[in-house]
Amino acid sequence: MTISEPSATRRMLEDSWRLRLEEAHVHYRRATDQYRKSLQDQPDGRLHNPSGALALARQAESEALAEYTRVLRVFTELTVNGKIPEERSAAGSNG
């Protein structure tokens, strides 16, 4: 479903998704900072322990990036094309 002209509903949706986008960006930046810190703690960057801090930090960063990308895609479709987002869980969506 698309909305052709900016309406109060569309503006409310855009505001809501802009907030989600900002939150996803903050979460991604924090995950990236944590991953970089973990890399500094293990300078060779190897995953000596697949369940260690570096592996967990890398996984968290990857998940945060995937969510940020998903929200950015939805926000772009809404603001540029007027496409109403379908509500899906982050785990159940492929993009």
Cα separation, 27 vs 49, in Å, equals 25
How is residue 2 annotated by DSSP? B
How is residue 29 annotated by DSSP? H
Which of 72, 66, 88 is CA-nearest to residue 22? 72
Contact 73, 12 (CB under 8 A): no
pLDDT at 38: 87
Q: Which pTM value belongs to this model?
A: 0.75
Task: Give whole-number Cα distances, 35 to 12, 18, 76, 80, in Å.
Answer: 35, 26, 28, 33
Residue-level pLDDT, tens digit, the chain, 95 residues: 555 556 888 889 999 999 999 999 999 999 999 999 988 887 665 666 777 888 899 999 999 999 999 999 999 999 998 888 876 544 444 44
pLDDT at 32: 97
Cα separation, 43 vs 87, in Å, equals 41
pLDDT at 6: 63
Which of 11, 34, 14 is CA-nearest to residue 22? 14
pLDDT at 21: 97
